[in-house]
Amino acid sequence: MVLHLLCRPAGRATAGPQEVAVCRIPASDRLRWFLLSAAACTMLLAATNAITMDIAAIPLLWILPLVIYLLCFVLTFKKSPWFPAVMQGSFSWAIIMGILLVVMVQLHISAPWFVLVALHCAILFVVCLGCTGRLVQLKPSSSAGLTDFYVMIAVGGLAGTLVVSWIMPLVSSRLVEYPLALILASAAYGLLAQPKKTVQEEQRDAPVMAPGITIIELLCWMTFAAISLTLLPAMAGIWFGTDPGRINLVFALIALPISLGLRRMALTPLFGVVLLCTIAVASGWTEDLVAGSETVLRARNYYGIYRVHDRAGMRFLQHGTTQHGREYAKKELSGLPLSYYHKTSPIGQLMSSGKFSTDDVGMIGLGTGAMAAYVDKGQSLTVFELDPKSLDVARSCFTFLTRAQKRGVNLSFVFGDGRISLRNEPSGRYNVLIVDAFNSDSIPVHLFTTGAFEEYLRVLKPGGVLVLHVSNRIVNLIPVAYSNARSVGAFACDKNNPALVQPEGADYSVWVAVTREPAVKEVLTQQLHWLSREYPAEALPRPWTDQYSNVLDAMLRK
């Protein structure tokens, strides 16, 4: 306000009335701006979902796509835009690579997670740079049209966000936004927004495209020729369940049309749209075909994608990239706790040892409901679950909860954030409190702070124990658990079931028990053989609080 008052006299003296030129912008230009902006934003969110839900459950990994997206705007909207011809010529390559990644996901073809993440980031960079670069090329020359230009960019970004974040989870149980984002980007970049090329520009781009087309075409023909030799065994594999045979068959069917399309259409955007639409339509059956499994249920909501499938006599629950448990499919074997909750697992041994009462058990995180197998008639199990859909999946696809109810177990479910919900529980409520929320696609840090530990210990009865499931391929939470426990005046000990001596149906898992009572610690360490680590103070990380956490440090300790 002070600056405005100081500058106002000078403004009155120098500034005179100016006429603003009227700029008539065709509706087609507004449509191009909108689609290019929507395509870039949709690609950002689709790549983020693909990386975090389908590839790697690594904290903070979502930052990479966001940085790339913002970098593309910086490079193309700066005073001297950076949008070289080689990047323009690479746009179609990025679309083709995106197609291949979609096919790889559908065929369950594995690759190191860092390779897939790098490919997704490279595709995102080229596609977003193409969209933002094309926006700069289509930017109105008159300043009078800039308002409409930037408004359409903002509206397009909003539309892309709404489609991926809100509409897609409602209309599809799969990550269809990735192929759809490629389709939109291909259409917006090539079919609707491409400026007319001069003869010189076409001659300039031809050498960039032709060698690559020839290479991909050659690879496709080699793949087709090699796989055709195993076509009959592949067809037999459909009936006899040979997974490599199924993959070979699908590749044989895909390689030839790609090769012919590349030669005939020379990687035109229309070809990308047609091929992507075909893959998007076919993606529903290829997954089960090549995985050798039968999908029982697939559901998606704001919290992620659930998939329940039968394979090798077992029923599995998968949420994102994480397996959350399984159960025998045969009726006579169903109801036995498996995976992390197997009888031989640390939590299975603790619950069935008789050393701790199971009259009142609390649990954060439902999964398949396998914990209910350890609770008997007249006893209570209270489950705190963030996603109500999890209960529907556990009840409709697994038998643990149904069997517990038939045994007379008192089951109750509280939906919402587990830590907040516990505040409504009286002190000294539970004999055992289990927190199983740290091995999934992202770590809820607020459930692993000293404040959360205080809340957990508050609701324990005398002689009770807090048990944390900390199995995680990426993050080592054991030192953090010890540090937090020491900070709140409690003892911690941990136990795992060795991976090399797992019985059938068991999975390797790591658990940490926390208690303030020396007698409980002695039971755990002396009778149940849990390990109490004597960390020196300097070896432990700083305790996590509601104001401080360091996930990167926990990742480096893995």
Q: What is the predicted pLDDT for the residue at 100?
A: 76
Contact status, residue 131 vs residue 37, Cβ threshold 8 Å: yes
User: 300 CB contacts (<8 Å, ≥6 apart)?
Assistant: 168, 169, 172, 173, 174, 306
The yes-or-no verdict on residue 152 having pLDDT over 60 is: yes
The yes-or-no verdict on residue 156 having pLDDT over 70 is: yes
Q: What are phi and psi of 174, to 5 degrees?
A: -120, 170
pLDDT > 90 in the chain, percent: 44
Structure tokens at 302: 């704001």
The yes-or-no verdict on residue 432 having pLDDT over 70 is: yes
Kindly write down the DSSP assignment for every residue of 515-547, as one continuous string.
ES-HHHHHIIIIIS--B-----GGGSPPPP-SS
Contact status, residue 33 vs residue 25, Cβ threshold 8 Å: no
Mean pLDDT value across residues 331-358 = 92
pLDDT bucket at 232, cuts 50 / 70 / 90: very low
Query: How high is the mean pLDDT of the chain?
Result: 79
Q: What is the predicted pLDDT for the residue at 504?
A: 79
Q: What is the predicted pLDDT for the residue at 59?
A: 63
Q: Which of 362, 533, 542 is nearest to 456 (CA)?
A: 362
Q: Assign 460 to helix, strand or coil.
A: strand
The kind and range of the H/E element at 555 are helix 551-556
CATH number for the domain running over 335-556: 3.40.50.150
Boundaries of every domain in the chain:
27-291, 335-556
Q: What are phi and psi of 96, to 5 degrees?
A: -65, -40
SS3 content of the chain, % helix, strand, coil (to 5): 55, 15, 30
**Greatest mean pLDDT among 113-117, 201-205, 224-228, 338-342:** 338-342
Q: What is the predicted pLDDT for the residue at 192?
A: 58
The neighbouring-strand residues paired with 390 are none
Mean pLDDT value across residues 222-251 = 44
Q: Assign 295 to helix, strand or coil.
A: strand
pLDDT bucket at 313, cuts 50 / 70 / 90: confident
**What do you get for the CA distance between the two ends of the chain, in Å?**
53
At residue 509's C-alpha, the angle toward residues 504 and 513, to 5°, is 130
Is pLDDT larger for residue 169 or for residue 75? 75
The yes-or-no verdict on residue 207 having pLDDT over 70 is: no
The yes-or-no verdict on residue 426 having pLDDT over 90 is: yes
**Greatest mean pLDDT among 15-19, 99-103, 240-244:** 99-103
Tens-place pLDDT, residues 356-402 = 999 999 999 999 999 999 999 999 999 999 999 999 999 999 999 99
Mean pLDDT value across residues 506-515 = 93
CA 372 to chain centre: 28
Question: Using a CB cutoff of 8 Å and minimum separation of 24, what contacts does 10-13 make?
Answer: none
Is pLDDT larger for residue 145 or for residue 372? 372
Least confident of 167-181, 266-280, 379-393: 266-280
Is pLDDT larger for residue 508 or for residue 231? 508
pLDDT bucket at 243, cuts 50 / 70 / 90: very low
Q: Kindly give the pairing relationship between strand 510-515 and strand 491-496.
A: antiparallel
Least confident of 185-199, 247-261, 449-463: 247-261
The number of beta carbons lying within 10 Å of the beta carbon of residue 437 is 22
Can you say whether residue 510 is alpha, beta or left, with left for phi > 0 and alpha for psi between -120 and 50 degrees? beta
Tens-place pLDDT, residues 107-128 = 656 667 778 888 899 999 999 9
- Please give the DSSP secondary-structure letter assigned to residue 66: H
pLDDT bucket at 298, cuts 50 / 70 / 90: confident
Q: What is the predicted pLDDT for the residue at 300?
A: 83
